[in-house]
Structure 1
Amino acid sequence: MSVPRRPPALLAAPLLVLALLLTGCSLGAAPAKAPGGVPGLGAAGPESGGASVRRASPSPEPTPSPVEIPGLGPETLARIPAETRQVFVVTGEAADSNQSSAVLYSRESPAKGWQPVAGPWPAHNGMEGWTDHHVAGDLRSPTGVYPLTDAGGRLPDPGALLPYDEHPRFAVDGEGFFGEPLEGSFDYVVAINYNRTEGVSPLDRTRPLGLERGGGIWIHVDHGGPTQGCVSIPEARMEELLRTLDPARKPVIVMGDAERLGR
């Protein structure tokens, strides 16, 4: 007996149901696997037909330059001894000004450079300002870079690291240029090694350059007005300076008006 043939449509329906059961709800094509290589750029290389992409190596961090002292130009910096690790910078407002500011800098190593450790402090200098060629009686402070090796004063040693000479001869009286009392100005002093012998009391009057070039240039207690050539800072700051200046660190003072120091 002949068996009747099933129409093709009836054969296709069960096959379609079976396919849906195997592939889930997705009727679209499965997403292609993301190509390897640089993220976002796809595969690269001859086989993929894409251009070869090479990631740049990160640039090395630049080595910071040693920190120099602000306001000091190359000529001034060159005069600071290589072994010096403490610098007391006194910067005048102008060549003819008796108003200054002072900052103490320290350097732990040449690689780290200079760092401020005290100041800025208000300061006074010579009544007539600054000079590159100081002479006795000109009422100007000598510009330059000078070692600081000796200290002293009328009052007992406040804990100075530099050799300290306590002596009654540091007593002073009278009035300054504006009538301010000078008493106590030399209670604490640090000798600036301009035209003096290193390693002796600030009271020593030896003048290697001759008496006509002046001398007795000190850092001392401020009396509220200009000096005859010294640098003066407030008394509390003098005590701090004396307890900080360390002969092992070869301290120097850099002093002058801003324009000269910037050269």
Structure 2
Amino acid sequence: MKRLMMAALIALLFIQTANLAKAETKTGCEATQFKIVMKSEADVKEKASAASKTLKTYKKNKELSASGRTGSWYKVCHSNKTAYINMADAKEVFSSGEKAILKKFDGRKGVNQVVSVTGKAMGDTKVTIQTYEKKQGEWRRALKKMDGVIGKNGFTKSKKEGDGKSPVGIFSFGTAFGSETKPAGVKMSYKKTTKYDYWVDDQASTDYNKWKTYKGNPAVKWKSFERMNHELYKYGTVINYNTNPIVKGKGSAIFLHVWRGSTKPTAGCTATAEKNVLSLLKWMDPVQKPHIVMGTNDSLKSVK
């Protein structure tokens, strides 16, 4: 009996050791984020350097899984370890929806950064935020996918003031802002908000859909306004919706800002976790003319 128990114990320890080894093997590489295809023969490098040791060479059209990109190097898995392929030797595989979105920027000179905010249906409030940048003449994914929320009543192609919806379309960005000092690494113009800063949504006012600084009583000056030192505006950026020209009643104060949570939609803005907002602000470069595209794949088909 003792021998049987000892044998069972040894077998159990062997299984546990094997499972642990498998778990360690699985964690040797980062999770797959997207696919890449070799444009020509491509060397897999031990480190993100052309001078690094070559681990393997892949032929043209070979498809691989990538866990991301660091600088000009894609991260791939080789022998359960992270290895690298030069960006010049590979192109990214995009879905039909991604291709359609990125194609819209072919004729927009100088636009080399795109923030995509997409939902599955017009009434959805949860969205996926993705970023793309043009590198070496081709579109590449930039930051990792982010979860976001939009207006409590979803997307619309004909936004109206107070409808609780987010506008479908392609827009540039205005100034970045926040109640905190400009974070290190942010290249966009940045306004630190105060208790005297407001965004006006009073349709009867000539200040409609404008940022105004006013030291008097705002309730006397405007019938409706937003305080720019709101906690959700700790960090954010203006989305240039209905700004040139401004049409009264067409909607105002459309921003990208910090969310209340993944289940709490906005009044019409796009929102995501604070760390994501900071990542976006630090990634966006005014020289690259960043734009945001918002909507569902179907609703964006007619957007030029």
With normalisation by structure 2, the TM-score equals 0.54
User: Cα gap change, 1:247/1:78 in structure 2, threshold over 3 Å: closer, same or farther?
Assistant: same
Q: 2:233 is matched with which residue?
A: 186
In 2, Cα distance between equivalents of 1:66 and 1:133: 37
User: Cα gap change, 1:185/1:232 in structure 2, threshold over 3 Å: closer, same or farther?
Assistant: same
One-letter code of the match for 2:238? A
User: Cα gap change, 1:102/1:125 in structure 2, threshold over 3 Å: closer, same or farther?
Assistant: same
Deviation of 1:135 after TM superposition, in Å, equals: 1.1
Q: Secondary structure at the match of 1:194?
A: coil
Using CA pairs under 8 Å that are at least 6 residues apart, name the structure with larger relative contact order, 1 or 2. 1
One-letter code of the match for 1:100? V
Q: 1:196 is matched with which residue?
A: 243
Q: Secondary structure at the match of 2:127?
A: strand
Q: Secondary structure at the match of 2:144?
A: strand
- Give the count of matched residue pairs: 182
2:154 aligned residue (129, 145, 157): 129
In 1, Cα distance between equivalents of 2:265 and 2:143: 22
- CA RMSD in angstroms, aligned pairs only: 2.8
Within 5 Å, give how 1:127-206 maps onto structure 2.
127-159=152-184, 160-169=186-195, 184-196=231-243
User: Cα gap change, 1:167/1:130 in structure 2, threshold over 3 Å: closer, same or farther?
Assistant: same
Please list every run of at least 4 consecutive aligned residues from structure 1 whose deviation after the TM superposition is greater than 6 angstroms: none
Is the 2:160–2:251 contact (alpha carbons within 8 Å) kept by the matching residues of 1?
A: yes
Q: Which has the higher strand share?
A: 2
Within 5 Å, give how 1:10-21 maps onto structure 2.
none
Deviation sequence 1:117-144 (CA, Å, 0-9, x none):
1121110001111011111111110011
Within 5 Å, give how 1:85-104 maps onto structure 2.
85-104=112-131
Give unmatched runs, 5+ long, in structure 2.
Answer: 1-59, 62-88, 199-228
Deviation of 1:260 after TM superposition, in Å, equals: 2.1
Deviation of 1:100 after TM superposition, in Å, equals: 0.3
Q: 1:57 is matched with which residue?
A: none
In 2, Cα distance between equivalents of 1:69 and 1:103: 12
Q: 1:249 is matched with which residue?
A: 288
Q: Secondary structure at the match of 2:275?
A: helix
Give unmatched runs, 5+ long, in structure 1.
Answer: 1-60, 172-181, 198-207
In 1, Cα distance between equivalents of 2:132 and 2:123: 25
Deviation of 1:68 after TM superposition, in Å, equals: 7.7
Deviation of 1:149 after TM superposition, in Å, equals: 3.5
Is the 1:149–1:247 contact (alpha carbons within 8 Å) kept by the matching residues of 2?
A: no
One-letter code of the match for 1:215? S
Q: Secondary structure at the match of 1:168?
A: coil
Is the 1:220–1:238 contact (alpha carbons within 8 Å) kept by the matching residues of 2?
A: yes
In 2, Cα distance between equivalents of 1:248 and 1:185: 27
Deviation of 1:79 after TM superposition, in Å, equals: 5.0
Q: Secondary structure at the match of 1:150?
A: strand
Q: Secondary structure at the match of 1:149?
A: strand
Indicate yes or no: 2:142 matched with 1:105: no
One-letter code of the match for 1:158? P
Deviation of 1:73 after TM superposition, in Å, equals: 5.7
